[in-house]
Structure 1
Amino acid sequence: MTVTTPATTDRTAARTPNGGPGPATGSRSVVLRALLRNKLAVAAFVVLALLLVAALSAPLIAPYDPNTQNLLLRLRPPAWQHGGSGAHLLGTDQLGRDMLSRVVYGARVSLLVGAGAALLAGVIGTVVGLSAGYLGGWVDRALMRLADVQLAFPALLLALAVVGFLGSGLWMVILVLGFTGWVSYARVVRSEVLSLRSRDFITEARAIGVTDVTIMRRHLLPNVMAPLATIGTLHVAAAIVAEASLSYLGLGVPKETVTWGAMLSDGQLYLGTSWWVAVFPGIALMLTSLAINITGDALRDVADPKAYRR
């Protein structure tokens, strides 16, 4: 007996006897066209691509070391303002450090924390959601009650408590944000699995003796990847904002590591006289979060067949 899943069917249908594109290829082209029609999503994707390139090549494009201090140049305005200089396009901060270099290097930490926390939370939430939805019974009840308990605590407050107790650091922040963000993944995956576990291909797999772990890994997991990608994209933005909040409060990564949150914290005292110290990292944080959220919304719309079905 051959077990056929929706994913397997799509892959099989992608090949036609004459070698031409099949339904799967057509579906992918429809999805791509739907994304390209969304001009706002395309612009958001371009912004994210530029940020990623800037973060990866920060040592090459940043004009100065972000931690190099020069008190003789402290609080210099941006180049287009009176007193500014082309040597420091975005000005300098209270210690004479180049703002452009610090904003560029800050993107590395923000994107790393966002992606790392989303990946960790996604792995935990997927395992929990698959187990709860497929196994059901006391496993489902226990795991969902655990999720309810975590939801009873505000995520940022819980992260503050854990970081304050265990100590700060880049990897500690990623671990904390990852372990406090898995519930949304688990709930979505569980709901998808509950609708899939009674399908014929799951029943057939059980009938021929396929193990539960194999069914979850090979037959259920591929069918929940679309909502997982959407949630993961949105969670990256939430993790970036959470990291900035922790760094703003002095509980994030160490001070010697450049982060947008720490730059906002340093610049709040100079908003009235040297606005650029806080405004530029704030703009970078806002644009990054906005671009990620717009991209996530576009992926969600396209992942819903009703959004692009004609």
Structure 2
Amino acid sequence: MPADFAASFRLSVAPMMDWTDRHCRVFHRALAPHARLYTEMVHAQAVIHGDRERLLGFDGVEHPLALQLGGSDPDLLAQAARIGADWGYGEINLNVGCPSDRVQAGRFGACLMLEPQRVAECFAAMQAVVTVPVTIKCRIGVDQQDEATSLFGFVDTLAAAGCRSFIVHARKAWLQGLSPKENREVPPLNYPLVHALKQARPELQLAINGGIATLDAVREQLLHMDGVMIGRAAYHDPYLLHQLDRALYAPEAALQSRVQLLRSLQPHVEALRARGVMLKHFSRHVLGLFLSQPGGRHFRHILSTEAHRPEAGWELIERALAAVELQQARAA
């Protein structure tokens, strides 16, 4: 893998449906200049037949950026991968971890852990038509599978097909009986198994995902793994991303304040409004920026109750920031 790919692979933000859209990713890029960002999962058929600007469009500042695809048909995935690479994505990632009923009905996501040879065929078809890396995001197993047997067997099958980069969510997925939300929380985390995989397969590039929510936890994981993928913690407490990025890539640089980071995005927000994009599409992603900070509740309230108005623009964000600054001054 290129050196720049390996560097950004150290810290990444998980693909999250309904969350990591293009507006979220621009915000995350301002917080974390070096981290690797991922799109929401897009089904291969949607890429081929759907509105590509809506599904695939992104701002150039989002790089390094990966497109995550869903599907199980090698030919369709190859077409979608080629389209994604042509659009400028620097990585194509195949989802083999989503446990939702809708995904299972379409025979993709975590249920493909039961079909490693088919996933290998999908990988080979995708990698054959693009020059950017094709990577896999998976679980450690599903349902009654033995975790060690399923994970090692799955990864070895893909490695034999040429795959060199994996992101492993360190939980099983239960395809029946648990909701997608429960599948992110109920199955126990098994970090030691993923660490053992990296130790046994040092030639592979492996990142770990699942329940990692602090700088200390990230540093601990990087003692064992090539990379760490942060999920919901990055969304609910986005300033964590800035702290992580500084600590891992620019420890000599001072942290920017939350206010500074958000104000750096004023030109971007004003450009969105000039194109007719409503403020709510951007502002919903920044609600957690002042989590546990004085004025944070006022900040969230102002944006969540007023950003939907057609006339709302940057001045509303300034009003929300003014509420924060007032509360911070009172708390000082």
TM-score band by shorter chain is: under 0.3
Higher helix residue share: 1
Higher strand residue share: 2
TM-score normalized with structure 2 length: 0.21
Which structure: larger Rg? Answer: 1
